[in-house]
């Protein structure tokens, strides 16, 4: 299926002054506070920060999994607040891929069925060849396609999730701590695969692991719901130092 | 919708098993009820098998209310033959096509008047079909008004008038069962499906995140439920059919269906069972599916999906309305004039109370958890953990408490209402009969009565016979009472006459119970004129001579025996003769002259009638059995599912070093809380209905609650709950290797 290409000048993910609040009145918590960011086509960006800095909220608002309290989010050229729930769902399955930390896959479906899920939801024809191609891009063999997720290792499960994210040739892939549950070696393998397989696709990874930035073009640091720094071509050692500093600031703020 | 979306059924269907089981139970009972309702056995034509056409006086009584276009006809099958003139046989023999016509008598409930026969059997000439002959006979009888003309299988109903009465009783009972079964099944399934959907929130969130629309998720859930429902229907068919067959046999044995009745066991029932349970599952899943489809996709990203602690304000509002509605309905029920009207509202009242408990469950649970806090300090860490879980998630705890409350409310109300009525009947019977001795058995004729009255020392004696009469109160239905010979009743029966004459009614008079009439549906008082229809359909227009309040044992009508004689379809005589005064020896001597006649003292006679009343509660026990089965399924199902849901907690307890015993104590304390709060809520909901029913029937606010059944009910509920929690706990804890034993 031909994909409507986003104009090169327009970034597929643009957040403009986005604020997200949970709760009301005195108990309200501001998770994102006037964040403006854009993720250009084909970029591979890591979003980092200490716990509670708003990383996951940023991803959820950018991907349309949560509605922002104010500000605008443009995903694949569409302003999310103007889309109905249904239109957002259709946009997600046609133009966006997801990789989560765990519970990525439906346990009752086979690997092949999990990979084909977005196509099925979109009522598109599913050919075995397409699935095998997507699987081979992430290094899964034909025999593994008939297995259930529980029969695979953690690293293999994440590869299945990546294959599922890639099956629709999306404009954007959002990944939330995709290697959080993996050992450093397996994690590096999964990230390398994602980097290679997602060639040309915009990737946004939320992580707290500085090593992830080895594969990234850019690192965005969040602190207290705001963008603290943006680092092009990040070096893991520097990233680690910055994360450490953010942690100390957070401790100081609390203390 | 692709079948792939339904893969959840194929593999790891844990939560859905409950739905299947609940649907199966619903199907079992629906099938049983339908096959009972459809039980249809034409009574054998017997002596009439060779007759082409049978002609009897109309076997129904008809009443017309209103006039003109608003006229409303009501008919009721008669328990006795009207009788037709013997000369009718001669007349019908002249009808073209008739070979012969013979007047026949001596059927059970037959006419016993001179010059009359029960019916006329007409034989057709060769070559004349019974239907043709029947239509000619109808023409000869000027349209057949006032007659029942039967051919073929329907002759059996004329040969045995009880068949029609019993069949309509049986169908009324089954019809009365279907509504509660469907309603309660809907409730049980709704709560089970809500849990099944809740357990898989993250699965739906993931589907939503990768682009499933709300509609797709909703349709997938509903399709799953319909399939589970249909599977439940298949499972439920055979047991349901078996239960139906047993039920029909039991009803026939208790004269509530014609003898020889068979349940309707057509293969179509399997289709109906599947269809019904699939439909019920689908309907009950609407709310759950809607909630499931609205799962925020972002929940797929969270480790522990945040669940709303407090119920939706709409639920609370509806709960308050249901509670208010129950109060209003209770007041309205007590304000109903007739006991029948009050009883008709008892089930809706029970449902309204249970609905209030179900809707306000979470608030009730939170409040109880708050109250229980000081007591929990005594139970140590496990009790504290258990209570914390309840207090943190009152909605979830309520979903376990509600079925316990339902079981207690339903089973308790039906059982104790029946027990209260029986108790009141027995104690009224004891104070109603004031005669010293009761003669029963054979040969209780008018001549015997005269002999008894002539015995030295006899102050009073009267013959009594049970009798029924059709009354319009306001629907045409049979009222039961007694026919009694004339004279003062003072030393024989104390009916607690509240107005009018304490003597037996004379011809042209009738005495009516306060429940049926005094303040009741007949809307009559002493001196009113009413028309009742005797068993053979003869109208009896009478003046109300008395209104009495002790009617549980002796019935709602008191008719003069001389009026009922010859119209009841029973041989002349009485079923009992009540005697006051006279000596035991004189009575024994009299009995010796009448083979089959027995003399019993008042106390023995009363004990016998109390026993007879107990046997009459078969229908009630049947309803009770059905409700108990459904409640038990609901209770076990919900508790098993809610326990399995806490697997994560169990794992965590193991990781932080809890022993198996401590983990068991946490789950055990939760079961204790669930059973305790459920019992209290159920008792409260049931008490409203129980008090109303007791008040309606016995006039007293005090229900009779025998200790042993009350304790058994509590024990069974507690045991079921304990098993439903501890067995899944045992299975899960064996799998959690982190739990240390000790």
Reported as a pLDDT band with limits 50, 70 and 90, residue A8 is very low
Residue B200's closest chain A neighbor by CA? A106
Most confident of A40-54, B64-78, B488-502, B633-647: A40-54
Contacts for B309 with CB less than 8 Å, ≥ 6 apart? B392, B393, B394, B395
Instruction: State how far the Cα of A102 lies from the Cα of B245, in Å rounded to an integer.
Output: 53
How many CB atoms are closer than 10 A to CB A101?
20
d(CA B681, CA B405): 6
- Residue among A85, A86, A121 minimizing CB distance to B210: A121
Q: Which two tokens stand for residue B666?
A: 């946490």
- pLDDT, tens digit, for every residue of A191-211? 888 888 778 899 999 998 898
> What is the C-alpha separation between B629 and B145, in angstroms, rounded?
48
- Average pLDDT of the residues of chain B: 81
- Residue B286 CB contacts under 8 Å (≥ 6 apart), including other chains: B222
Nearest CB to A109 within list B7, B214, B296: B7
Residue with tokens 């068991």: B664
Residue A4 pLDDT: 43
pTM: 0.71
Q: Check residues B192 and B497 and name the one with the higher pLDDT.
A: B497
Q: Do B211 and A107 touch (CB under 8 A)?
A: no
Instruction: Name every residue in A having a CB less than 8 A away from some CB of B.
Output: 56, 59-60, 63, 65-66, 85-86, 89-94, 96, 98, 100-101, 103-104, 106-109, 113, 116-118, 120-122, 148, 164, 176
Tokens representing residue B6 in the block: 């339904």
- φ, ψ of residue B160 to 5 degrees: the values are -140, 95
Distance from CA of A27 to the nearest CA of B (A): 16
Which residues lie across from B533 on neighbouring strands?
B470, B539
- Selected residue with higher pLDDT from B112 and B736: B736
Q: Which residue has the higher pLDDT, B303 or B234?
A: B234
Task: Name the residue in chain B with its Cα closest to that of A124.
Answer: B2
Chain A nearest-CA distance from B738, in A, is 20
**Residues B51, B123: contact at Cβ < 8 Å?**
yes
Higher pLDDT, B269 or B391: B391
pLDDT at B242: 77
Instruction: Specify the pLDDT at position A3.
Output: 43
- pLDDT 10s digits, B471-485: 887 678 888 899 999
Q: Is the pLDDT of residue B457 over 80?
A: yes
Identify which has the larger pLDDT, B683 or B283. Answer: B683
Q: Given an 8 Å threshold on Cβ–Cβ distance, is A103 in contact with B216? A: no
Stretch among A177-191, B365-379, B432-446, B608-622 having the lowest mean pLDDT: B608-622
Q: What percent of chain B has pLDDT over 70?
A: 84
Q: Which residue has the tokens 């703020």?
A: A253
Look at residues A12, A59, A58, A13 and name the one whose alpha carbon lies nearest to residue A35.
A58
Please report the pLDDT score of residue B1 as a whole number: 45
Chain B nearest-CA distance from A244, in A, is: 25
Question: Could you tell me which of B93, B99, B154 has the C-alpha nearest to residue B120?
Answer: B93
Strands A172-176 and A96-99: parallel
Query: What is the rounded CA–CA span in Å between residue B734 and residue B726?
Result: 12
* Domains recognised in chain A with CATH numbers: 13-254 (3.40.50.300)
Position A6 confidence tier, pLDDT thresholds 50, 70, 90: very low
Q: Using CB atoms, pick whichever of A98, A108, A109 lies closest to residue B209.
A: A98
> pLDDT, tens digit, for every residue of A131-181?
998 888 888 888 889 888 888 888 888 889 988 888 888 999 999 888 887
Stretch A205-227: mean pLDDT: 92
Q: For the stretch B3-13, what's the b/e string if a residue is b when 16 or more beta carbons lie within 10 angstroms of its beta carbon?
A: ebbebbbeeeb
Is the pLDDT score of B305 beyond 60? no
In the structure encoding, which two tokens stand for residue B479, read together? 């009222």
Give CA–CA dist B430/B442, Å, rounded. Answer: 24
- Residue B466 makes CB contacts below 8 A (sequence gap 6+) with B480, B481, B482, B483, B555, B575
Per DSSP, the residues of B418-469 read HHHHHHHHHHHHHHHB--SEEEEES---HHHHHHHHHSTTEEEEEEEEEEEE
Q: Residue A1 has what pLDDT?
A: 40
Q: Is a pLDDT exceeding 80 seen at residue A9?
A: no
pLDDT at B291: 78
Confidence at residue A225, expressed as pLDDT on a 0 to 100 scale: 92
Q: Whole-angstrom distance between the N-terminal and C-terminal Cα of chain B?
A: 51
- Cross-chain residue pair B216–A60, CB shorter than 8 Å: no
Residue B64 has a CB neighbour count (10 Å cut-off) of 9
Please state, in angstroms and rounded to a whole number, the distance separating the CA atoms of residues B343 and B449.
39
Best of A20, A52, A68, A89 to substitute, by most chain B Cβ atoms within 10 angstroms, is A89
Between CA A171 and CA A203 the distance in angstroms is: 9
Q: Residue B251's pLDDT is what?
A: 74
Dihedral Cα B14, B17, B22, B28, nearest 10 deg: -170
Is-contact A80 A73, C-beta < 8 A? yes
**Measured between alpha carbons, how far is B138 from B142 in angstroms, rounded to an integer?**
6
In degrees, rounded to 5, the angle at the alpha carbon of residue B162 between the alpha carbons of residues B159 and B166 is 135
pLDDT tens for each residue of B569-590: 887 888 899 999 888 888 888 8
The per-residue pLDDT for range B8-30, each reduced to its tens digit, is 555 544 556 666 666 666 666 66
Residues of chain A found within 8 Å of residue B7, distances taken between Cβ atoms: 106, 108-109, 113
Q: Quick one: average pLDDT of B589-601?
A: 87
- Whether the pLDDT of residue B741 is over 60: the answer is no
Residue B449 pLDDT more than 70? yes
How many Cα atoms within 13 Å fall on the side-chain side of residue A209?
A: 19
Q: How far apart are CA B559 and CA A85, in angstroms?
A: 74
Cross-chain residue pair B206–A103, CB shorter than 8 Å: yes
**Chain A contact probe: residue of B1, B210, B298 with most A CBs at under 10 A:** B210
For residue B128, cis peptide bond before it (omega within 30 degrees of 0): no
Tell me the pairing of strands A78-79 and A226-232: unpaired
Taking contacts as CB-CB distances below 8 angstroms, the residues of chain A near B301 are 56, 59-60, 65, 100-101, 176
**Nearest residue, CB atoms, B300 vs list A89, A103, A117:** A103
Q: Which of B202, B210, B213 sits opposite A117 (nearest CB)?
A: B210
Per-residue pLDDT band for B373 (boundaries 50, 70, 90) equals confident
Kindly tell me if the per-residue pLDDT of A7 is higher than 50: no
Q: Which residue has the higher pLDDT, A217 or B641?
A: A217
ipTM: 0.78
Alpha-helix runs per DSSP H in B482-617:
561-564, 584-592, 602-615
| Residues in chain B whose Cβ is within 8 Å of chain A | 2, 4-5, 7-8, 10-12, 202-203, 206-216, 296-298, 300-301
Which residues are registered as beta bridge partners of B77?
Answer: B60
| Spatial CB neighbours of B607, under 8 Å, sequence gap ≥ 6 | none
* Among chain A residues, CA nearest to B303: A102
Q: How far apart are CA B382 and CA B374, in angstroms?
A: 14
What is the rounded distance in angstroms from the CA atom of residue A42 to the CA atom of residue A140?
24
3-state secondary structure chain A: CCCCCCCCCCCCEEEEEEEEEECCHHHCEEEEEEEEEEECCCCEEEEECCCCCCHHHHHHHHHCCCCCCEEEEEECCEEHHHCCHHHHHHHHHHHEEEECCCCCCCCCCCHHHHHHHHHHHCCCCCCHHHHHHHHHHCCCCCHHHHCCHHHCCHHHHHHHHHHHHHCCCCCEEEEECCCCCCCHHHHHHHHHHHHHHCCCCEEEEECCCHHHHHHCCEEEEEECCEEEEEEECCCHHHHHHHHHHHHHHHHHHHC
Average pLDDT over residues B618-639: 78
- pLDDT greater than 80 at residue B88: yes
Are A89 and B214 within 8 A, CB to CB?
Answer: yes
- Whether residue B11 and residue A107 make contact (CB cut-off 8 A), yes or no, is yes
User: Dihedral through CA B546, CA B549, CA B555, CA B561, nearest 10?
Assistant: -20
pLDDT, mean of residues B682-689:
92
**What pLDDT was estimated at residue A134?**
86
Q: Is the pLDDT of residue B643 over 80?
A: yes
Q: Per the CB < 8 Å rule, is A164 touching B210?
A: yes
Count Cβ atoms below 10 Å from residue A220 Cβ, excluding itself: 23
Best A86, A97, A103 member to test B by mutation, with max B CBs in 10 Å, is A103
Virtual CA dihedral for B574, B255, B628, B231, nearest 10 degrees?
-170
B4:A90 CB<8 A? no
Chain B closest-CA separation from residue A177 CA (Å): 10
Tokens of B370: 């708050």
Which residue from B4, B213, B300 is facing A120, i.e. has the nearest CB? B4
Q: Summarize the confidence of residues A96-119 as an average pLDDT.
A: 83
CB contact under 8 A, A121 and B215: no
Burial class (CB in 10 A: 0-12, 13-18, 19+), B618: middle
Structure tokens of B529?
Answer: 């004129």
d(CA B597, CA A180): 94
Q: The tokens of A181 are what? A: 């549950």
* Closest CA–CA distance from residue A64 to any residue of chain B (Å): 9
In whole angstroms, give the CA distance from residue B282 to residue B226.
Answer: 5
pLDDT tens track for A28-76: 889 999 999 999 999 999 999 988 899 989 998 999 888 899 999 999 9
Confidence band (pLDDT; 50, 70, 90) for B210?
A: confident
Of A96, A100, A116, the CB nearest to B301: A100
Which residues of B are less than 8 Å from A92 in CB distance?
Answer: 209-211, 297
Percent of chain A with pLDDT over 90: 34
């Amino acid at each position: 299926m031909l994909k409507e290409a986003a104009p090169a000048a327009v970034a597929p993910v643009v957040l403009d002054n986005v604020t997200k609040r949970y709760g009301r009145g005195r108990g309200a918590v501001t998770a994102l506070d006037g964040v403006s960011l854009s993720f250009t086509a084909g970029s591979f960006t890591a979003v980092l920060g200490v716990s509670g800095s708003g990383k996951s909220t940023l991803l959820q608002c950018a991907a349309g999994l949560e509605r922002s309290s104010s500000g605008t989010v443009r995903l694949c050229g569409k302003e999310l607040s103007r889309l109905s729930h249904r239109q957002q769902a259709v946009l997600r399955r046609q133009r966006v891929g997801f990789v989560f930390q765990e519970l990525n896959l439906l346990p009752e479906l086979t690997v092949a069925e999990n990979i084909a899920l977005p196509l099925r939801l979109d009522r598109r024809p599913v050919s075995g060849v397409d699935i095998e191609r997507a699987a081979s891009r992430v290094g899964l063999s034909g025999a593994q396609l008939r297995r259930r997720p529980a029969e695979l290792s953690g690293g293999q499960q994440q590869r299945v999730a990546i294959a599922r994210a890639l099956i629709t040739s999306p404009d954007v892939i959002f990944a939330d701590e995709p290697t959080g549950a993996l050992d450093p070696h397996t994690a590096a393998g999964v990230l390398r695969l994602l980097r290679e397989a997602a060639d040309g696709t915009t990737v946004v990874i939320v992580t707290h692991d500085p090593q992830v930035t080895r594969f990234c073009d850019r690192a965005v640091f969040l602190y207290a719901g705001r963008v603290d720094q943006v680092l092009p071509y990040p070096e893991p050692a520097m990233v680690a130092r910055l994360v450490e500093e953010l942690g100390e600031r957070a401790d100081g703020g609390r203390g | 919708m692709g079948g792939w979306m339904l893969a959840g059924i194929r593999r790891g269907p844990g939560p859905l098993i409950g739905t299947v089981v609940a649907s199966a139970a619903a199907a079992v009972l629906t099938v049983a009820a339908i096959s009972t309702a459809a039980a249809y056995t034409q009574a054998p034509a017997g002596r009439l098998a060779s007759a082409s056409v049978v002609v009897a006086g109309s076997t129904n009584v008809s009443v017309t209310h209103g006039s003109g276009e608003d006229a409303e006809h009501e008919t009721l099958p008669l328990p006795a033959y009207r009788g037709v003139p013997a000369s009718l046989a001669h007349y019908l023999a002249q009808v073209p096509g008739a070979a012969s016509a013979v007047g026949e008598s001596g059927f059970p409930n037959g006419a016993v008047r001179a010059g009359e026969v029960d019916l006329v059997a007409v034989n057709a000439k060769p070559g004349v079909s019974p239907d043709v002959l029947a239509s000619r006979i109808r023409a000869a009888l000027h349209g057949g008004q006032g007659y029942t003309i039967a051919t073929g299988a329907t002759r059996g109903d004329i040969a045995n008038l009880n068949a029609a009465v019993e069949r309509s009783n049986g169908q009324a009972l089954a019809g009365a069962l279907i509504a509660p079964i469907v309603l309660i099944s809907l409730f049980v399934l709704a709560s089970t499906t809500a849990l099944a959907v809740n357990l898989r929130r993250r699965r739906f969130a993931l589907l939503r995140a990768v682009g499933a629309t709300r509609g797709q998720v909703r349709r997938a859930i509903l399709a799953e439920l319909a399939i589970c429902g249909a599977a439940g229907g298949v499972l439920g068919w055979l047991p349901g059919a078996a239960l139906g067959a047993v039920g029909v046999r039991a009803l026939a044995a208790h004269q509530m269906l014609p003898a020889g009745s068979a349940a309707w066991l057509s293969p179509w029932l399997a289709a109906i069972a599947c269809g019904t349970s699939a439909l019920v599952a689908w309907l009950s899943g609407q709310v759950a599916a809607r909630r499931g489809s609205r799962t925020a996709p972002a929940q797929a990203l969270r480790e522990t999906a945040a669940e709303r602690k407090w119920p939706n304000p709409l639920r609370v509002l509806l709960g308050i309305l249901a509670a208010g509605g129950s109060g209003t309905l209770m007041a309205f029920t007590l304000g109903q004039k007739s006991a029948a009207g009050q009883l008709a509202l008892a089930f809706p009242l029970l449902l309204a109370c249970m609905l209030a408990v179900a809707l306000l469950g979470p608030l009730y649970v939170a409040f109880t958890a708050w109250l229980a806090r000081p007591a929990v300090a005594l139970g140590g860490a496990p009790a504290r953990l258990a209570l914390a879980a309840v207090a943190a998630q009152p909605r979830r705890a309520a979903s376990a408490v509600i079925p316990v409350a339902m079981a207690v409310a339903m089973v308790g109300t039906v059982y104790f209402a029946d027990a209260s009525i029986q108790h009141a009947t027995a104690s009224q019977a004891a104070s109603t009969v004031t005669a010293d001795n009761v003669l029963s058995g054979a040969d209780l004729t008018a001549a015997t009565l005269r002999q008894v009255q002539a015995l030295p020392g006899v102050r009073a004696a009267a013959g009594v016979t049970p009798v029924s009469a059709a009354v319009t109160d306001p629907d045409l239905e049979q009222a039961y009472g007694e026919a009694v010979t004339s004279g003062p009743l003072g030393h024989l029966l104390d009916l607690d006459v509240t107005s009018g004459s304490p003597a037996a009614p004379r011809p042209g008079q009738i005495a009516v119970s306060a429940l049926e009439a005094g303040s009741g549906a007949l809307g009559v008082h002493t001196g009113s004129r009413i028309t009742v229809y005797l068993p053979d359909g003869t109208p009896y227009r009478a003046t109300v001579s008395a209104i009495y309040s002790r009617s549980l044992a002796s019935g709602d009508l008191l008719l003069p025996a001389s009026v009922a004689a010859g119209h009841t379809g029973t041989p002349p005589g009485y079923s009992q003769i009540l005697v006051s005064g006279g000596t035991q020896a004189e009575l024994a001597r009299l009995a010796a002259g009448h083979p089959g006649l027995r003399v019993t003292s008042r106390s023995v006679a009363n004990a016998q009638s109390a026993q007879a009343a107990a046997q009459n509660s078969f229908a009630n026990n049947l309803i009770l059995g059905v409700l108990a089965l459904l409640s038990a399924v609901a209770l076990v199902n919900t508790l098993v599912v809610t326990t399995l849901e806490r697997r994560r907690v169990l794992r965590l307890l193991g990781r932080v070093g809890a022993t198996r015993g401590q983990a068991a104590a946490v789950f055990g304390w939760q079961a204790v809380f669930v059973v305790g709060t459920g019992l209290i809520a159920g008792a409260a909901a049931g008490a409203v209905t129980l008090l109303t029913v007791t008040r309606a029937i016995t006039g007293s606010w005090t229900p009779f609650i025998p200790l042993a059944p009350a304790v058994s009910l509590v024990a069974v509920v507690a045991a079921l709950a304990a098993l439903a929690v501890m067995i899944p706990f045992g299975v899960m804890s064996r799998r959690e290797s982190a739990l240390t034993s000790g």
